[in-house]
Amino acid sequence: MNTLIKRMVYPFMLIIMCSPVNHAYAGKPAAASNKAFTNSISYTWYDGNKAKKIWLNPDLIAEFDPKPATHRQSKNLAASASPVKMKQRGIKLWRLKTGVTSKSNMQQLRQQLPAAKISQVLHDGPSDATHKRALPGNIIVHLDPNWDQQRAMTWLNQHALQIEKPLNIGPNIFIVKTGPGLEALEKANEIYLTGEVVAAYPDWWQEVHKK
């Protein structure tokens, strides 16, 4: 573990607890059958310096910010998918009849829904009853808080990262632009594994159960 990440682990956890940016909406959760995934693909993401495993839901995709412009396109899914009942704002879940693989049919779905933001659905455990996550796009990057603005901007430019906006929850913390889906997860991991940042993780959408 590099020295920078060791030094920042406890402040980082405090920042995560206070961060307002992860896409989570209270509401009635989508029904789950507690079905264990068979031969599901798993991925790793980094919560600070802690590696966490997530599992691909082989049946679901998420459509973010559905708008009237994409409503007609969404009907193209009717022959191959059915909507999942849920009351969370800004997202629609679809259950695919043909199943989901990591990337192979996402390209086809994006061709069907060119104006929509769609993502694989992932879980914190290997069954569909566990906590859901998805990737609407963008990642959150924590640089060394001791860097001045010029050094931070130089580092971001060297890595061809475009800032969506800075976050006022600590020094040198930025939302960085990425596409939706696994592209966001892969970019966050790529940046974290340089060993040059405090943290890098997706700006997750997360299912929140109403108490």
**pLDDT tens-place string over residues 35-79:** 788 767 999 999 999 999 999 998 898 989 876 655 555 556 556
Write out pLDDT tens, residues 194-203. Answer: 999 999 999 9
pLDDT at position 19:
43
Q: Which helix (H) or strand (E) holds 9?
A: helix 3-18
pLDDT at position 86:
77
DSSP states along 31-97: P---PBPSS--EEEEEETTEEEEEEEEEEEEEEES--HHHHHHHGGGTTTEEEEP---TTEEEEEES
pLDDT at position 72:
57
> For residues 199 and 177, what is the distance between their CA atoms, to the nearest angstrom?
16
| SS3 of the chain: helix, strand, coil, percent, to 5 | 25, 35, 40
pTM: 0.79
- Domain covering 41-134: architecture: 2-Layer Sandwich (3.30)
pLDDT at position 69:
57
